[in-house]
């Protein structure tokens, strides 16, 4: 004979767990649906644009330093890392 499962002994436990799972899945679905709004999308895009602007700034500063070094006649470093200004 198969071992008695707790849900068979206490049917209300099974009901509780299934209700909790349903609630969790419903919350998850609701959260996923909320993200489709235009506001969320625009906020994400703005963050990406900000990052791109920062990277561009870093690159332009590095290029400027390389140019100045070339003008001074110093061998310019080929690789300009982000954090050495």
Domain boundaries, the chain: 42-85
Higher pLDDT among residues 14 and 27, named by residue: 27
> Phi and psi of 81, rounded to 5°?
-80, 160
Give yes or no for residue 52 having a pLDDT over 70: yes
Give yes or no for residue 77 having a pLDDT over 50: yes
The radius of gyration of the chain's CA atoms, rounded to the nearest angstrom, is 29
pTM: 0.30
Distance between CA atoms of residues 55 and 44, nearest Å: 17
Higher pLDDT among residues 55 and 9, named by residue: 55
> Considering all CA atoms of the chain, what is the largest pairwise distance in Å, rounded to the nearest integer?
90
Instruction: Give the pLDDT confidence score for residue 23 in this predicted structure.
Output: 73
């Amino acid at each position: 004979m198969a071992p008695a499962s707790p849900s068979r002994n206490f049917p209300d436990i099974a009901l509780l767990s299934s209700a909790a799972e349903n609630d969790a899945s419903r919350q998850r679905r609701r959260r996923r649906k909320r993200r489709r709004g235009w506001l969320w999308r625009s906020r994400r895009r703005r963050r990406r644009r900000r990052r791109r602007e920062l990277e561009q700034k870093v690159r332009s500063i590095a290029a400027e330093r390389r140019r100045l070094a070339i003008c001074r006649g110093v061998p310019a470093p080929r690789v300009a890392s982000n954090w050495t200004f």
